[in-house]
Amino acid sequence: MHSSALPLVGLYIAAITAANLLVAEFGPVISPLNAFFLIGLDLSLRDRLHDLWAGRQLWPRMLGMILLAGCVSWVLNPAAGIIAIASAVAFSVSGAVDAATYHLLRRRPYLLRSNGSNAAGALTDSLIFPTMAFGAFLPGVVALQFIAKLAGGALWAWLIRKFAPATPR
């Protein structure tokens, strides 16, 4: 694994775990804040890891991160079980959509690739996660999550581009 990927992987797992535990504790009301700060970060981290891992078992590594974050969430709070499952499913599907979109945009500048793939991944995740986690389709939660993920993802993509380059300086 590329050495600059290790801190990004740790941050990814910590952010997803925190998001899962916050949703388990506070329910849908925390979703927009989670979406902006934590899920926007994760969407953008996946893009940077996509660049670092391209051609080096990208898909198994991404899936492993997603599943590990779900397991850590469950171990830290077994009551968060349905949240961890919903998170793992939503992130697996949205990760595939995000990665495919990111790959299609591979010849574009980083911020366009990242924000374009974040939009596709955010929409997918915003539809799947709250529906599974809360047992019903909640249009307001879906809309707020999507908007917050787009805004958070844009901010995090800019910060990641600035402070976590795809290749070591």
Residue pLDDT tens, the chain, 169 long: 556 789 999 999 999 999 999 999 998 889 889 999 999 999 999 889 988 887 778 889 988 988 898 899 889 998 888 998 998 899 889 989 998 999 899 999 999 999 999 999 999 999 999 999 999 999 998 999 999 999 999 999 999 998 877 664 3
**Distance between first and last Cα of the chain:** 17
Q: How far apart are CA 123 and CA 146, in angstroms?
A: 6
CA 9, distance to chain mean position in Å, is 11
Contacts of residue 126, Cβ cutoff 8 Å, sequence gap at least 6: 35, 142, 143, 145, 146, 149
- Please give the radius of gyration of the chain, using alpha carbons only, rounded to the nearest integer: 15
pTM greater than 0.95 (yes/no): no
**Residue pair 151/119 in contact by the 8 Å Cβ criterion:** no
